[in-house]
A and B are shown apart, each in its own frame.
Chain A
Amino acid sequence: MQTLDFFPPVVDDPYTFGAVAAANAMSDVYAMGGEVLFALNIAAFPRWLDRAILAEILRGGAEKVREAGAAIAGGHTIDDDEPKYGLTVTGIVLISELMTKAGARAGDQLFLTKPLGTGLITTAAKGGAAEPKHMEGAVQCMLQLNRAASRAARSAGVRSATDITGFSLLGHAAEMAAASGVQLRIYLERLPILEGTRQYAEEWLFPGGAHSNREFFAPRVQFAGGISEEEQMMLFTPETSGGLLLAVPADKVEVFLQNCRSLEQPAWHIGEVVPGSGIVVE
């Protein structure tokens, strides 16, 4: 399989940006239950900026790809006003192990493998309004590869997954619900949320993507009473290099959680799959 993703800097440090962009680009392969074979750099960089910065971005990306057990085989950089970086990734998966958005069935349990909040915290940071410790938490989260989460699911026989990125938790969940012909019930209080996220939500520091996600996906989402508008917006906020949303068949939950423990991979049980359509948040 082949995937591509790239974006402008989400953090100031060039090495970290490269590593986050690479983790994010490889995430698609992991969401499909695969492993990365190799990748090509795709970069844009202003002529007037120090080339050493570009070198650091590429080094961050290369080391993250190496962590994934793969290698960068080359790439291409063009001149542009704003730096951008990402990868085209070539991965491999056995068709019998392929995870898709269409594989969720009523009775499956929903697990999320990273906390939410990277989008809100990085947006607040762009405005100079994020506390360093909150940003540090978001960076650690974005740097985490989805490889262990993917392996834990794959070897437990999980066949339905998606990764949480620009469409937000609810957007990606809505796509999974539609592709699988089921309803996903998500429990707000069970969701892992990065420290600082709720604070920035209360301050209405949402990026534009949160509004467009809400506009597009809200018709498919029902919220229980008592969930505030800020909390709703928070769940529509784009994530960067977010975790996997996995629909785990009930009889495979135990093996999946055992796999997670042995791989030191966190997984939060956030809801379940039921007959119907769309998303319910309680």
Chain B
Amino acid sequence: MMTEKIVDARGLACPQPVIMARNAMREGAVRITVIVDSETAVANVTRMAQKAGWQVAQERRDNEVHLRLTPPAATAEQPQEAPASAPAPAGPTVLLVKSNRMGRGDDQLGEILIRGFFHTLTEIEDAPAVMIFLNSGVKLTTEGSPVLDDLRALEERGVEIYSCGTCLNYFGLTESLKVGAVSNMYSIAETLLSAGKVISP
């Protein structure tokens, strides 16, 4: 069955309505209704959806506009979506590293544990596909990190490594990134939402 979704973007300034609509489209929703209340949002959302090949119908009410978005596939005869009973395909396993230590209790112990954790990951065949480092976690991807060698080894095996740009900036570590790439909250949120499984050390 098709999924229907209503995106209420009333009162939000651009680019928020576009980003919300785009997320709904990427989540696989079909027949999305985006409710907006500015002509800017009408134009931005309409053109963004049309560029992606979706059809857009407008319905104007008092002070708001309902934009009905349908993808090209939804108008075709044969069902394009998997049956609702089938399990959703699993996304990648994402490791979310929220701190430079593992567990709470003793900081020194936490540092020893996190070293052990990443070293162990290099020896496990089924390592996470994506690793996201945020808050003090970015101290692990930057100069002086005790786990750089292990992270580099994981990166060579194809693991995607991202550090939160805001966090790097906060700790003054933007120039000190040693492994992986910088990411932003938009990409991070998107990665988490599309993950099959999210784990944190």
Contact = CB atoms under 8 A, between A and B. Distances in A.
A216 B101 CA distance: 56
Interface string B32-49: 000000111001110110
B153 interface: no
A129 B186 contact: yes
B184 A205 contact: no
A207 interface: yes
A124 interface: yes
Interface in A110-150: 123-124, 126-133
Nearest to B164: A132
A208 to B, nearest CB: 4
Interface in A229-245: 229-230
Contacts of A132: 165, 169, 182, 184
Interface in A174-207: 202-207
A12 B170 CA distance: 11
B15 A126 contact: yes
A211 interface: yes
Interface in B17-71: 18-19, 22, 38-40, 43-45, 47-48, 51
Nearest to A123: B15
B139 to A, nearest CB: 18
Given A124-B15, A127-B186, A208-B13, A203 B39 contact: no
A128 B186 contact: yes
B40 A202 contact: no
B161 to A, nearest CB: 15
Interface in A16-72: none
A212 B40 CA distance: 8
A229 B48 CA distance: 11
Contact of A205 (B18, B166, B189): B18
Interface size class of A (residues with CB under 8 A): 20 to 34
Nearest to A204: B48
Nearest to B42: A211
A210 B18 CA distance: 15
Contacts, number: 67
Nearest to A136: B174
A224 to B, nearest CB: 21
B65 to A, nearest CB: 14
A127 B15 contact: yes
Contacts of B3: none
A206 B44 contact: yes
B120 interface: no
A211 B45 CA distance: 13
A131 B185 CA distance: 10
Contacts of B184: 128-132
B14 interface: yes
B40 A204 contact: no
A179 to B, nearest CB: 28
Of the listed residues B18, B169, B189, the one surrounded by the most CB atoms of chain A closer than 10 A to its CB is B18
B80 interface: no
Contacts of A230: 47
Contacts of A207: 13-15, 40
B7 to A, nearest CB: 14
A208 B185 contact: no
A126 B184 CA distance: 12
B19 A211 contact: no
A127 B22 CA distance: 12
B16 interface: yes
Contact of B40 (A12, A13, A127, A208): A208
12 contacts: A126-B15, A127-B14, A127-B16, A128-B184, A128-B185, A131-B184, A132-B182, A204-B15, A204-B47, A206-B43, A206-B44, A207-B14
The 9 closest A-B pairs by CB, nearest first: A132-B165, A205-B15, A204-B48, A127-B15, A208-B40, A128-B186, A204-B44, A211-B40, A128-B185
Interface of B: 13-16, 18-19, 22, 38-40, 43-45, 47-48, 51, 165-166, 169, 182, 184-186, 189
